[in-house]
Amino acid sequence: MSKANFTEDFKRDAVVQITERGYPVAEVAARLGVRKYSLYEWRKRYGKVVATRRTTSR
């Protein structure tokens, strides 16, 4: 099985769906075709970046 390579934008957008739009991790994972574990890792990595980008754009 090969490892899928997702772009940084794809990962950030997935995190936005969880953190800002309030979708459950399991739902986003199923819809995007990624593992829940990956989303949790992306949230750790990009959650702060997404929050910073949101506050600076206002």
Burial of 15 (C-beta count, 10 Å sphere; 0-12/13-18/19+):
buried
Cα distance between residue 33 and residue 52, in whole Å: 27
**What is the residue whose two structure tokens read 């890792």?**
41
From first CA to last CA, the distance across the chain in angstroms is: 43
The structure tokens 């950030």 sit at 12
Tens place of pLDDT per residue across the chain (58 aa)? 567 799 999 999 999 999 999 999 999 999 999 999 999 999 999 987 766 666 666 6
pLDDT score at 4: 79
Confidence (pLDDT) at 55? 66
pLDDT at 1: 55
pLDDT score recorded for residue 23: 97
What residues does each domain of the chain span?
8-56
